[in-house]
Amino acid sequence: MNMGTLDRMKQEKHWYVLHTYSGYEMKVQQNLQSRMTSMGMEDNIFEILVPEQDVYEEKNGEMVAKKKKAFPGYVLLEMIMSDEAWYVVRNTPGVTGFVGSHGAGSKPSPLLPEEVDAMLRSIGVNPRKVDINLELGQRIEIIGGAFQGMEGVVTEIDEDKAKVTVLVEMFGRETDTELNYNQVKEIDEGFTL
């Protein structure tokens, strides 16, 4: 990696995985949020997540939802890897280190975008907010999935899940289908001569 690449990586936000003492994930999250504010790191540290999932257990004949840590001993952190931010995070009580760091003071490798997406999706979080200018009733073209190449009308937009429900006509019947934002595109309503 040349210096130009390293400088660009320092300026971009990336997701990293912190290893913590077992059972201290929430305390590490609180400590990091507190230190982020008190040490002026709001421009370098953005999001601190302790991934949790709902687990259902039977209790007194009823199914009860209970939160369980998806990755015990780990905390996800979105940050710009500056020297100062790296120092603040590494020296937060309860943090034992970054996953992907090769020791001897080396900076860690960030997660790949597809790893972040999969991890966030597994805990029910929309990995990336996608800017899409769709409106209810708008005609769109489907560019991915089983209905690729067809056109439809937007009937519902779920920004949190980055999904859109589209009404398509198939075999003379209208059918609703749920698609990801990246599976649809706006139809250019431009005029042709």
Q: Tell me: the pLDDT tens digits for 119-155?
A: 777 776 655 555 567 889 999 998 887 888 899 999 9
CATH number of the domain enclosing 149: 2.30.30.30
Check pLDDT > 60 for residue 14: yes
Cβ(19)–Cβ(96) under 8 Å? yes
Residue 128, domain member (yes or no): no
> Residues 36, 109: one domain?
yes
What pLDDT band is residue 27 in, cutting at 50, 70 and 90? very high
Q: In the prediction, which pLDDT does 24 show?
A: 93
Residue 192, domain member (yes or no): no
Check pLDDT > 80 for residue 111: yes
Q: In the prediction, which pLDDT does 18 show?
A: 94
> Residues 96, 172: one domain?
no
- Write down the pTM of the prediction: 0.59
Could you list the residue range(s) of the whole structural domain that residue 163 is in? 139-186
> Residues 58, 97: one domain?
yes
Q: CB pairs under 8 A, 24+ apart, for 126-133?
A: 126/159, 126/160, 126/161, 126/162, 127/162, 128/162, 129/159, 129/162, 130/162, 130/181, 130/182, 132/164, 132/181, 132/184, 133/186
